[in-house]
Amino acid sequence: MLSEEKKNEIKEFLMSNPRAKLNEAAKKFGVTYAQVYAVNHKIRGVRRKKPSVKAKSNMGAKGSSSNPFIIPAPTPTETATPAVDMVNQPPHYTKGGIETIDFIDAKELNYNLGNVVKYVARSGFKGARIEDLKKAKWYLEREINFLLGS
């Protein structure tokens, strides 16, 4: 179990170096990858918390319109739903609680095998599932041919 001091050191390092690889951070601090991942996950969990927006229905309320197609303007206390960050945190990247790139880094997979894992893990979440699986197969065959020397 990590001490709070060590967790804070890792947290500060990860916050100041957002592109740092987790396995490199583990080596730097002399801890396991899983321990660094847990700290990183908590950091991202805090960043990901977004205010919830509850839809208000004014239908039937005093002074409301009888037309169901007129949507009342939001009150100043309501917040807009934050836009999805499709570059740094797309929803299909974090499906299942771990980013695919973190898994690939932890297993130290090469380019071809990393892409196999990436396309299989994300298949169907962004585009056509069959297309993603065919891409994974293409990279796997490429790696097999490389190892066979063909």
Rounded to whole angstroms, the Cα distance separating 141 from 113 reads 10
Rounded to whole angstroms, the Cα distance separating 119 from 141 reads 14
- Global model pTM greater than 0.85: no
Range name among 6-15, 61-70, 71-80, 113-122 with the lowest pLDDT average: 61-70
Is the Cβ–Cβ distance between 37 and 44 less than 8 Å?
A: no
Q: What is the pLDDT at residue 2?
A: 80
DSSP 59: T
Give the pLDDT mean for 53-79: 54
Q: What is the pLDDT at residue 100?
A: 83
pLDDT tens sequence across 6-18: 888 988 888 888 7
CA 147 to chain centroid: 32
Asked if CATH classification 1.10.10 holds for the domain at 1-50, the reply, yes or no, is: yes
Report the mean per-residue pLDDT for the chain. Answer: 76
Domain ranges in the chain are: 1-50
Higher-confidence residue: 130 or 75? 130
Give the pLDDT mean for 102-116: 91
